[in-house]
Amino acid sequence: MSDDNCPDCEEGLPAWMGTFADLMSLLMCFFVLLLSMATMDANRFKKMAESLNDAFGVQRKIIVYDIVKGTSVVAQHFTPASGDPTVLDELVQDTTDVEKELLGKDATSEEESDEAAAEKDAKDQANVEIVTEYVESTEAKIEAADELAEEIKEFMVDEIDQNMVSVETDLARVVIRIHEKGSFPSGGADFNLEFMPIMEKITAVVNGSVGTVTVAGHTDNIPIRSGLYRSNWELSAARAVTIAQSLLADDSVDQNRLIIEGHADTVPIAENETPEGRAANRRVEIILTQGEMPQDSAEPILKIVR
């Protein structure tokens, strides 16, 4: 019997069932996608399958005499099983034969390195002593050169005042500079007679010194017009030879001490643009090097232990 007051129900499923069905379909698609994109470890899957087979399948009884090492909630008896090793990517550092050889040398050469360090320290100490000795020797030579220059200036004070000669020092060297004024005629290499007394004083100065005596001739940059000499090179060398011969006229001067040089206009001391500068460049220099002989000049000044 039907109740006339009960409203009629709509045919079909309720409306919320459509939304629920769509949600379930989306979830199924989501898990299908996850499964399709997942990567499967074959070794791990095999081990899991064997574990499930042992847990839920038929087990064979194995008599165990050792202490039980583990129990399972499903399997009441311990069953040893051989596990498959899992392949792992390992980075192992390998030492090559060359590196082993070098490492072996480093390990076995500690004593050699100590000896090398000690030897280096000894060489450094020797070098310090050599440098110290050289510096002290040089300072002594410079001091001796300064004293000799002062003595020469006092001895030749009149000639210096007349600008016939000048005396300077260059470290361990004393430079007696003979100016062209009154010494040589223009373009010639013969002494003027009034300059001979000055040469006698210079000879006495040379005899009172020790070491190398370098006689160097210099000219200006004006080409020579005299027919006796082909160039300023010959003129500068001829004037240096004239000075050297005047020194050797005194038998007390050792000829082994002499060095003769001709420089022409290559070593000026003033500009050749003015007459005064050219006159200053026309000169002959007598250089007294303290404590050094010509045969020693080829040897190195300072030797370092290596």
Domain presence at residue 15 = no
Tell me the per-residue pLDDT of 22-70, one tens digit each, with 9 for 90 and over.
999 999 999 888 877 777 677 777 877 777 676 665 556 565 556 555 5
Domain presence at residue 183 = yes
Range of the domain at 201: 136-296
Do residue 63 and residue 175 come from a single domain? no
Tell me the per-residue pLDDT of 241-251, one tens digit each, with 9 for 90 and over.
988 888 888 78
Do residue 144 and residue 282 come from a single domain? yes
Domain presence at residue 232 = yes
Q: In this structure, what CATH number is given to the domain that contains residue 292?
A: 3.30.1330.60
CA 271 → CA 41, 235, 275, 277, distances in Å? 95, 20, 9, 5
Do residue 77 and residue 208 come from a single domain? no
Q: What pLDDT is stored for residue 300 in this prediction?
A: 41
Domain presence at residue 13 = no
Do residue 156 and residue 275 come from a single domain? yes
Q: How far is CA 182 from the centre of its chain?
A: 54
CB atoms within 10 A of CB 54: 16
Report d(CA 197, CA 162) in Å as an integer.
14
Q: Are 139 and 172 in contact (CB under 8 A)?
A: no
According to DSSP, residue 37 is labeled H
Q: Give how many domains the chain has, as a whole number.
A: 2
For the chain, residues with pLDDT lower than 70 are: 1-4, 6, 9-10, 40, 52, 54-95, 97-112, 182, 226, 291-306
Do residue 161 and residue 271 come from a single domain? yes
pTM for the model stands at 0.54
Domain presence at residue 290 = yes
